[in-house]
Structure 1
């Protein structure tokens, strides 16, 4: 039998329609226009002027328009080492402990490619950033899921995102002799939880006990509203196992720049760098240079404190409407996502959902309804859970507040329309 040359690989074939295309499809067809997009986590405004100036200046330099070293431009590696050394409580070696990647996502793919063999297991907490899963499976890894659980009264009153809890016994029972890595995300997308020092220490102790690499996704590390602990700072033993992931796009409001990095001990970073070299060789030169300048100048502009203050104000501004409607939400401790519980919203029984939405959990129906009837797009968080555990969040929606205040106000005005459906 002749094999079909156009048959796609299993890793990309047979996947059900993804949440992003469903939301975009609904938005385009909605009778309420223009759509207020509170779905995807991209910023609705530009980076500050000093960051844009750095990008403009970099484009005028010959060397910034050519290949960068595969491990990253020396200026950016040094800027990251200088910026993070005070947080880590030691001097980070920019040449041996930092590698630059094409966004945090490619950096994580490089970490998985650098360490996973066929059948190796990676523990991921639910809900998860959806890219983790394909990134683990492409090199042959197997994902092992451990869910986070919402507060018991999260459906009836507003609670802190920090109250979402991890069952440590369930985590330890998920560890086998094939467990190679654990993925941690703090501040967490989509929950907004900042893992406490005690929680991180318990996770770190398990990883030290079983010799498991920790991939600590800290891309929202400059947006925290409660004390924030970095996994790699817990102890020398934990640090030896930890790769810390960062994102220039998240830090400087420029998600399209695709500048990320990993910080970690040389015995781990060198294999991430080796995989990155084979995946994309090197990352965008002028935007690496601009990110370096942004780090160098951020403190002088008071940028870090201001960005945190502004984002917390956006969270508070947006969630006013849910306090008005008496809809409980998970008050984020970090990042720019808000999970809102819509169990009180009763959808019309005869509402005509298309089959690909009708077959999905209730949050997809809530999402579709809000887009079509109110003109507000959000993201259904069951997309970030396995089917087995999707019930945990089927009454919730995720909203991204990293938008201009006028957009937040427009969304609030439209969401007041939910009062007609609240019981």
Structure 2
């Protein structure tokens, strides 16, 4: 009921102090145990604070240009919107439950579409699970596959839910860091410069390692792992009999001629990989919250057990809309008319615009190879403005974001421990122009 021995001692000291003051011991103990029953579960220790929630709430109190939250401010493609409208109006039975593990037309098209990409025979009943967004797929995978005391290797910087999901499953996060190579003065940093050290990575595998979480394209750095890098990860997973949870929600958002490679397509990896995808990221419709997990039945049957005892069923209409959208993409795949071809071309222009704008005020962006995001180094500002207001014990990057919100009417997200800021680049022209105006004023204030 108590977090530790110290908490028990403090509580009992208070009990006996109140006893001396005339309150009955029985009443004091009753109050103590009643309060203990209202404590949260231990699996929530240390994960109750989320900077996304904190900064989002703070941004809502100011008239800000929100450059931190990870969703597009442009509409989904017309065919996807029409597919959702069709799902709302064409068949009244789409208002009812569908199959627990996925709307059959959706599981079938996912099996067909990704079966060709992965060069696997994918059974829509055994190898596909539809979830409430990719977030739901991640949670289901961690709960199904990570046990008390298992180690999970996490490549940092990482999407913020990986660590708490590991902890909630009883696992122990083990971190290995992408390290940037030095750049020449005036040279833009690129996500391609951020590399894993093969020796360090190999040292993280032990007899207790159960899983490795891979994210390519990576959020937040925007790195697209090369085939050679994935082969290194794959060889270590096979050598140590480790499961790979591969978060590939940004697989269509790859720029500058880089190619996304799914680790499940490499020899010997399908049978030990859970691949996670997102309709929200694929069709710029994050509010639909439709995701999926693909993998061998030996792993997926455990995910189905978690799913049927938690969510059980995902909204039918959204699944129907995603099924129609994938049917459209299957017909146009690889052609200029494919949305998966058009989307990165559009976001690539937004990315370059944001890079130039952030550079103009002295931020040092890392040019991403993929994903929704880019990061920018603020270490120069730390030397120029070391005494930002706020709690001195609070990390500088968080104080900087709060300062931006209050004084510059713009927001991003803070990323420890590397002291960069996180910006979402999937913004339309009006948002980018509003950002430019804020940054122009900022630049004028920085002039000596």
- TM-score, L = length of structure 2: 0.86
Cα–Cα, structure 1 residues 380 and 405, in superposed 2: closer, same or farther, change >3 Å? same
Cα–Cα, structure 1 residues 310 and 124, in superposed 2: closer, same or farther, change >3 Å? same
Cα–Cα, structure 1 residues 42 and 155, in superposed 2: closer, same or farther, change >3 Å? farther
**Alpha-carbon separation, structure 2, partners of 1:213 and 1:191:** 23
2:324 is aligned, of 286, 293, 298, to 293
Answer with 1 or 2: which has the greater Rg: 2
Superposed CA RMSD in Å reads: 2.0
Is the partner of 1:240 in helix, strand or coil? helix
Task: Tell me if 1:360 matches 2:394.
Answer: yes
Match of 1:7 in 2: 39
Match of 1:399 in 2: 423
Match of 1:257 in 2: 288
2:311 is aligned, of 256, 275, 280, to 280
**Alpha-carbon separation, structure 2, partners of 1:41 and 1:213:** 28
CA contact (8 A) 2:151 2:210 kept: yes
Task: Tell me if 1:167 matches 2:197.
Answer: yes
1:20 is aligned, of 52, 72, 75, to 52
CA contact (8 A) 2:142 2:169 kept: yes
CA contact (8 A) 1:246 1:261 kept: yes
Gaps of 5+ in 1: 383-389
The residue correspondences of 1:7-406 to structure 2 (distance < 5 A) are 7-13=39-45, 15=47, 17-30=49-62, 33=63, 35-60=64-89, 61-153=91-183, 157-225=187-255, 226-235=258-267, 237-298=268-329, 299-300=331-332, 301-325=337-361, 327-345=363-381, 346=383, 348-349=385-386, 351-353=388-390, 355=391, 358-382=392-416, 390=417, 393-394=418-419, 396-406=420-430
Is the partner of 1:143 in helix, strand or coil? strand
CA deviations over 1:102-151 (Å, ceiling 9, x no partner) = 11111111111112221111111111111112222222111111111122
CA contact (8 A) 2:220 2:374 kept: yes
CA contact (8 A) 1:216 1:245 kept: yes
CA contact (8 A) 1:157 1:329 kept: no
Q: Report how far residue 360 of structure 1 moved.
A: 2.4
After the TM superposition, which of the residue ranges 179-188 and 161-170 deviates more from structure 2?
Answer: 161-170
**Alpha-carbon separation, structure 1, partners of 2:447 and 2:413:** 20
**Alpha-carbon separation, structure 1, partners of 2:338 and 2:299:** 34
Cα–Cα, structure 1 residues 59 and 413, in superposed 2: closer, same or farther, change >3 Å? same
Q: How many residues align?
A: 406
CA deviations over 1:229-267 (Å, ceiling 9, x no partner) = 1101111x1221111100011111111211110111121
Gaps of 5+ in 2: 1-28
- TM-score, L = length of structure 1: 0.91
**Alpha-carbon separation, structure 2, partners of 1:286 and 1:17:** 33
**Alpha-carbon separation, structure 2, partners of 1:81 and 1:205:** 26
